[in-house]
């Protein structure tokens, strides 16, 4: 079987299985199995594949047709231009979450522009860290910018927290692969956390329990339910983190959440009721509410 024949057969099999991006997934899997580049494929598509590669390609196509996520087959997902390992114990990083990272970086930049002496050590806490993609991306790009300005990267320390030991193993592995230092703690939210932080980040479980069964098979059957289930109304973890977060934020500390597209009003309202100021909602590239942030001290601002 040639590369072209294998690809066409794989695409047709995925289309028959109802995979929305069948052509793209068929290509990614061909690239994953054979290492072939697009340029080489265009030049050598009629080249006969090696027998073992043909068998392996059929295997991964069959797995994808069974609605196993592409990232669980390849074991990786790109996020913020960085490669993260993923498995069934962590939520697959999604492009929408990059808005949370970008917002955190914008606020850190404002923080370091302040002419104060309290910048010797910045502590960032990522609650419900999963694969660690949020925290590690923030640390990577914030430290990169500081280094360009001649400031030691040790000025920022990151702490990732998750209730899942398996998730933290993956987060730690991602940190090691990317050569980014962070501390990882198994904790039921703040139960094992001490000290104060300049910034708390979180993409908590926010899908209402009853909605989970309506999601695509790739999500409801393969993403960890622990990372999806936001209890009855989807707001359970926001309430807990917002309430407890006041104890763990330094004066002027900022809290930032990823939210579901219909949760901006409710999360903003609760932040305000709990004494946070400068509450703001940021939209994603599709124009949907995606990030809510606030400051827990009306006397101190990043502006």
Q: Per the structure block, which two tokens stand in for 2?
A: 């040639």
Dist CA 137 CA 151 (whole Å): 18
Contacts of 40 (CB under 8 A, 6+ apart): none
- E strands along 70-130, which residues? 76-79, 82-85, 122-127
CA 116 remoteness from chain centre: 32
Pairing of strands 277-283, 289-295: antiparallel
The least confident of 104-108, 113-117, 223-227, 266-270 is: 113-117
Inter-residue contact 127 to 241 (CB < 8 Å):
yes
Confidence of residue 121 (pLDDT cuts 50, 70, 90): confident
Burial 190-215 (b: 16+ CB within 10 A, else e): beebeeebbbbbbbbbbbbbeebeee
Q: Rg of the chain's alpha carbons, rounded to an integer? A: 21
Nearest CA among 88, 71, 85 for reference residue 221:
88
Phi-psi region of 85 (alpha: psi -120 to 50; beta: other; left: phi over 0): beta
Count of other CB atoms within 10 angstroms of residue 255: 26
Contacts of 24 (CB under 8 A, 6+ apart): none
Tell me the mean pLDDT in the region 142-155. Answer: 76
Inter-residue contact 84 to 131 (CB < 8 Å):
yes
For residue 117, what pLDDT is reported? 53
pLDDT in tens, 186-231: 999 999 999 999 999 999 999 999 999 999 999 999 999 999 999 9
Confidence of residue 110 (pLDDT cuts 50, 70, 90): confident
- E strands along 14-86, which residues? 76-79, 82-85
For residue 282, what pLDDT is reported? 96
User: Across the chain, what does the average pLDDT equal?
Assistant: 92
CA 19 remoteness from chain centre: 23
Nearest-5° angle of CA 32, CA 33, CA 36?
A: 75
Q: Is 42 exposed, middle or buried (0-12, 13-18, 19+ CB in 10 A)?
A: exposed
Q: In the predicted model, is pLDDT for residue 130 greater than 50?
A: yes
Report pTM: 0.91
Dist CA 34 CA 54 (whole Å): 9
Dist CA 228 CA 208 (whole Å): 8
Contacts of 246 (CB under 8 A, 6+ apart): 274, 275, 296
For residue 111, what pLDDT is reported? 81
Per-residue DSSP letter, 215? S
For residue 112, what pLDDT is reported? 79
Confidence of residue 153 (pLDDT cuts 50, 70, 90): low
Which DSSP helix (H) or strand (E) runs through 251? strand 249-258
């Amino acid at each position: 079987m040639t590369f072209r024949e294998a690809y066409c057969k794989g695409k047709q099999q995925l289309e028959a299985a109802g995979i929305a991006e069948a052509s793209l997934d068929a290509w990614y899997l061909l690239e994953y199995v054979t290492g072939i580049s697009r340029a080489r494929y265009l030049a050598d598509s009629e080249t006969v594949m090696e027998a073992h590669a043909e068998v392996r390609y059929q295997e991964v196509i069959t797995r994808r047709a069974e609605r196993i996520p592409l990232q669980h087959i390849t074991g990786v997902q790109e996020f913020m231009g960085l490669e993260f390992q993923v498995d069934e114990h962590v939520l697959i990083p999604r492009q929408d979450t990059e808005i949370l990272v970008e917002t955190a970086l914008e606020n850190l930049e404002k923080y370091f522009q302040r002419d104060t002496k309290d910048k010797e050590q910045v502590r960032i806490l990522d609650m419900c860290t999963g694969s660690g993609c949020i925290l590690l991306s923030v640390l990577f790009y914030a430290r990169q910018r500081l280094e360009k300005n001649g400031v030691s990267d040790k000025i920022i320390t990151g702490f990732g927290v998750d209730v899942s030991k398996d998730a933290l193993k993956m987060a730690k592995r991602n940190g090691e692969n990317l050569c980014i230092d962070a501390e990882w703690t198994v904790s039921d939210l703040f139960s094992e956390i001490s000290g104060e932080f300049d910034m708390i980040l979180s993409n908590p479980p926010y899908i209402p329990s009853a909605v989970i069964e309506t999601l695509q098979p790739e999500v409801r059957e393969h993403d960890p339910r622990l990372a999806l289930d936001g209890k009855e109304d989807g707001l359970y973890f926001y309430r807990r983190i917002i309430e407890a977060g006041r104890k763990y934020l330094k004066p002027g500390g900022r809290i930032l959440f990823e939210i579901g597209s219909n949760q901006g009003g409710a999360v903003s309202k609760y932040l305000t009721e709990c004494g946070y100021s400068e509450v703001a909602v940021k939209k994603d590239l599709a124009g949907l509410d995606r990030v809510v942030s606030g400051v827990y001290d009306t006397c101190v601002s990043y502006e």
